[in-house]
Amino acid sequence: MKKALIIGAGGVGAVVAHKCAQIPEVFGEIMLTSRTKARCDAVAAQLPRRIHTAGVNADNVPELVMLMKSFKPDIAINVALPYQDLHIMDACLECGVDYLDTANYEPPDEAKFEYKWQWAYREKFREKGLTALLGSGFDPGVTNVFCAYAMKHHFDEIHELDIIDCNAGDHGLPFATNFNPEINIREVTARGRYWEHGEWAETDPLSWSMVFDFPGGIGKKKCYLMYHEELESLTLNLKGLKRARFWMTFSDSYLNHLKILENTGMTRIDPVDYEGRKIVPLRFLKSLLPDPASLGPLTRGKTCIGCLIKGIKDGKTRACYIYNICDHQECWREVKSQAISYTTGVPAMIGARLILSGPWKKPGVWNMEEMDPDPFMLALNKHGLPWVERFEE
Ligand code: NDP
């Protein structure tokens, strides 16, 4: 029986706490922490068994180290914000604790995410015999595992990859983001980027789109090309890849609101003077927008996230589409959350489970596609995210 320290008690952290609490034979003791302890206590009150809670500022490494030394976790599940990644990795190294996150490091003052900062920790984790698993959410996360599974079982070479993320849910509010508003808006307003013929090409933000016919009764939706972090590791780890792109659906209402917010300067991340003090407009905007955790009871409809993969098997071309469909209201019934937090929190729990129970315990810093996909794919079916695969020869 192992001990898990969950850091972050927002939409995703609440799902991780629920899902870990369902498996006492692996997660013997759980501590849920966040900057605001009251958020942890509110989640703990919904769970079927007792867990520990604590307030911690994960940007303060000595404070984290003190907490880890007293609770002695086997793993830290980081579902706070990407800004905390390196601090939590430092504390894990100091205390001998395995590490997992769902989003790669991003400096607060520059909207730029990259793996280089976390990949620089490879030697340190290897030397200490500790595992750090990066990006164990849905995308990144399950999408990387879908690729590894396709490579292992269905292809000799993968040539084209399109990761397609559709949230066909509706919360009925004029504008809300389904995960942390600050991180979401930084990601969506960034320039588009995709991989073609061995190099990166850029597009203006949300300037390319396509229509995709989604399964599960969702139907045709417009999807926009974006840069997404799993493309960085997949283009290195899937040898022979000629093209890789990431697409996401947005409603017209979301895009119109976003355009106006951008045009008025509300999405800026540099500090501006306001009545004698400095404020960051995007952080101020975040404080006004709905908390993603509050969207659970409001959201109806489904998500469909999957990988459309084309390549060669036994000398013949083939295409394979692997996807999951998740229903917002079913998630609400099970763990009091909407599907975006659910589809992120369940893979975080599964990644932690596979590290704690052995199959994915491997010293070093790893992206998901570097691990054996089979136990993860089995666990997805078991823990609420069943997947489907469809072939075209
Ligand atoms: P929320 O904003 O709902 O929750 C973030 C939590 O982190 C809050 O509890 C917040 O506490 C806490 N936190 C922030 N700063 C600190 C700090 N310095 N120390 C301790 N706790 C802190 O975000 P979500 O739950 O929606 O998202 C969580 C993470 O999941 C994000 O990194 C996001 O990018 C990632 N994500 C990944 C996805 C994937 O598929 N891979 C998809 C969706 C999200 P407080 O309330 O006190 O500020």
Least confidently predicted of 49-58, 130-139, 293-302: 293-302
User: Ligand 1 centroid vs 254 CA: distance in angstroms?
Assistant: 21
Average pLDDT of the segment spanning 88-101: 98
User: Ligand 1 centroid vs 359 CA: distance in angstroms?
Assistant: 27
If asked whether residues 162 and 283 sit together in one domain, one would say yes
Which of 45, 97, 100, 57 has the alpha carbon at shortest distance from 74?
Answer: 97
CB 232 within 8 A of CB 114: yes
If asked whether residues 215 and 314 sit together in one domain, one would say yes
If asked whether residues 107 and 200 sit together in one domain, one would say no
Into how many domains does the chain fold? 2
Q: Is any ligand 1 atom within 6 A of the Cβ of residue 324?
A: no
Average pLDDT of the segment spanning 57-64: 98
pLDDT in tens, 193-221: 999 999 999 999 999 999 999 999 999 99
User: Ligand 1 centroid vs 78 CA: distance in angstroms?
Assistant: 8
pLDDT band, residue 5 (cuts 50/70/90): very high
If asked whether residues 164 and 285 sit together in one domain, one would say yes
Higher pLDDT, 115 or 113: 115
User: Ligand 1 centroid vs 12 CA: distance in angstroms?
Assistant: 7
Helix (H, G, I), strand (E, B) or coil at 98: strand
Q: Which amino acid is at 88?
A: I
Query: In this structure, is residue 239 part of a structural domain?
Result: yes
Q: Is any ligand 1 atom within 6 A of the Cβ of residue 164?
A: no
Higher pLDDT, 336 or 239: 336
Protein residue with its CA nearest to atom 26 in ligand 1 = 179
CATH of the domain at 255: 3.30.360.10
Query: In this structure, is residue 355 part of a structural domain?
Result: yes
Atom of ligand 1 nearest to the CA of 292: 3
Atom of ligand 1 nearest to the CA of 11: 25
Query: In this structure, is residue 393 part of a structural domain?
Result: no
pLDDT in tens, 31-50: 999 999 999 999 999 999 99
Q: Rounded mean pLDDT of the chain? A: 96
Protein residue with its CA nearest to atom 42 in ligand 1 = 344
Pocket test for ligand 1, best of 57, 88, 102 (most atoms within 8 A of CB): 102
pLDDT band, residue 63 (cuts 50/70/90): very high
Query: In this structure, is residue 386 part of a structural domain?
Result: no
User: Ligand 1 centroid vs 157 CA: distance in angstroms?
Assistant: 36
Query: In this structure, is residue 390 part of a structural domain?
Result: no
If asked whether residues 129 and 51 sit together in one domain, one would say yes
Q: Do the bridges between strand 272-274 and strand 243-249 make them parallel or antiparallel, or are there none, so unpaired?
A: unpaired
Protein residue with its CA nearest to atom 34 in ligand 1 = 103
CB 210 within 8 A of CB 196: no
User: Ligand 1 centroid vs 7 CA: distance in angstroms?
Assistant: 9
Q: What is the pLDDT of residue 259?
A: 94
Query: In this structure, is residue 108 part of a structural domain?
Result: yes
Q: Is any ligand 1 atom within 6 A of the Cβ of residue 13?
A: yes
Atom of ligand 1 nearest to the CA of 80: 7
Average pLDDT of the segment spanning 359-372: 98
User: Ligand 1 centroid vs 320 CA: distance in angstroms?
Assistant: 33
Q: Which of 289, 322, 338 is the last residue of a domain?
A: 338
Average pLDDT of the segment spanning 377-393: 95
User: Ligand 1 centroid vs 276 CA: distance in angstroms?
Assistant: 30
pLDDT band, residue 239 (cuts 50/70/90): confident
| Domain membership of residue 108 as a residue range | 2-137+344-375
If asked whether residues 117 and 151 sit together in one domain, one would say no
Q: Which of 338, 355, 386 is the last residue of a domain?
A: 338
If asked whether residues 181 and 108 sit together in one domain, one would say no
Q: Is the pLDDT of residue 329 over 80?
A: yes
Q: Is any ligand 1 atom within 6 A of the Cβ of residue 84?
A: yes
If asked whether residues 13 and 71 sit together in one domain, one would say yes
Q: Is the pLDDT of residue 241 over 80?
A: yes
If asked whether residues 129 and 273 sit together in one domain, one would say no
Give, in order, the Cα–Cα distances in Å from 280 to each of 34, 109, 270: 22, 10, 6
Q: What is the pLDDT of residue 112?
A: 85
User: Ligand 1 centroid vs 80 CA: distance in angstroms?
Assistant: 4
Atom of ligand 1 nearest to the CA of 137: 41
Average pLDDT of the segment spanning 179-186: 92
If asked whether residues 204 and 323 sit together in one domain, one would say yes
Average pLDDT of the segment spanning 6-12: 97
Q: What is the pLDDT of residue 244?
A: 98
Helix (H, G, I), strand (E, B) or coil at 320: strand
Q: Which amino acid is at 363?
A: P
If asked whether residues 128 and 176 sit together in one domain, one would say no
Q: Is the pLDDT of residue 310 over 90?
A: yes
Residue ranges with strand state E in the chain: 2-7, 27-34, 52-55, 75-78, 98-101, 131-134, 157-167, 192-196, 199-203, 209-214, 219-226, 243-249, 272-274, 277-279, 302-313, 316-327, 364-367, 387-392
**Backbone phi, psi, residue 309, to 5°:** -125, 130
CATH of the domain at 115: 3.40.50.720
**In whole angstroms, what is the distance from residue 370 CA to residue 141 CA?**
11
If asked whether residues 348 and 334 sit together in one domain, one would say no
pLDDT band, residue 261 (cuts 50/70/90): very high
Query: In this structure, is residue 383 part of a structural domain?
Result: no
Q: Is the pLDDT of residue 340 over 90?
A: yes
**In whole angstroms, what is the distance from residue 221 CA to residue 380 CA?**
26
% of the chain surpassing 70 pLDDT: 100
Q: What is the pLDDT of residue 65?
A: 98
Q: Is the pLDDT of residue 393 over 80?
A: no
Q: What is the pLDDT of residue 217?
A: 96
Query: In this structure, is residue 381 part of a structural domain?
Result: no
pLDDT band, residue 293 (cuts 50/70/90): confident
Pocket test for ligand 1, best of 6, 12, 36 (most atoms within 8 A of CB): 12
The number of angstroms, rounded, from the C-alpha of 200 to the middle of its chain's C-alpha atoms is 22
Atom of ligand 1 nearest to the CA of 141: 41
